[in-house]
Amino acid sequence: MDRNQALDDLKTIRQVMKRTQREAGRHGGWFILIAGVMWLVGFTANQFLPQEYAGWTWSVVNLGGMGAMIWAGIHLMRHGDVRTPWWKPIFFFWMTLAGFAMLLGWLFGANNSIQIGLLAILVAALGYVQIGAIFQSLHISTTGILVAALTIGAFFLIPDYFSLAMALLGGGLLIGSGLWMIRSRT
């Protein structure tokens, strides 16, 4: 193999790597979009419904959102441009993180929607930062940092409207980030 052939092959490999990274990021956008819709509905229920109804709403939202994410994952694997063995570790990562969030909530006695919401959001934001670091996606990590900052700001500055702020700001940030990732061509 001569030098020019090797350079052409290297260029082709870099193009494939870039395309794969771009498509994988676009696929991740669907999951962030679904999470944003979940936050919008769930935290709006927290703000405006009595506690017992808000809790049931979250149960429905979480089951529906998980179902939508599983469907999206299967659909993207079957019809997408990127085939990945990463879905199992990513699924395990998020389930483990959710389990630790529940354990922390129980250990520290989180017993109202504000405390539970604060814990869930900060753990999810940590997850976004970690997934972004693992997959070298500054956008995903930045989304996690912004969600954490918005959450802490709302908790201290407007505690009576914390859930509404999380519905509009947190859910809106996730929806916007997910849409940006889906539409991104770079």
DSSP class of residue 169? Answer: I
Query: What is the C-alpha radius of gyration for the chain, rounded to an integer number of angstroms?
Result: 19
Residue 25's pLDDT is what?
54
Structure tokens at 143: 């989304």
Residue showing tokens 């693992």: 134
Structure tokens at 77: 């694997």
- Coil, strand or helix at 119: helix
Residue 80's pLDDT is what?
64
- What pTM value is reported for the model? 0.74
Residue 8's pLDDT is what?
67
Pinpoint the alpha helices (H) of 49-170. Answer: 51-79, 87-107, 113-134, 138-157, 162-165
Structure tokens at 13: 């490999």
Query: What single-letter amino acid sits at 120?
Result: A
Rounded CA-CA distance 130/89 in Å is 13
**Beta-carbon contacts of residue 92 (< 8 Å; ≥ 6 apart):** none
φ, ψ of residue 137 to 5 degrees: the values are: -115, 100
DSSP class of residue 112? Answer: S
Residues of the chain falling short of pLDDT 50 = 186
Asked if 36 contacts 146 with a C-beta cutoff of 8 angstroms, the reply is no
Residue 89's pLDDT is what?
83
Tell me the domain boundaries of the chain: 3-183
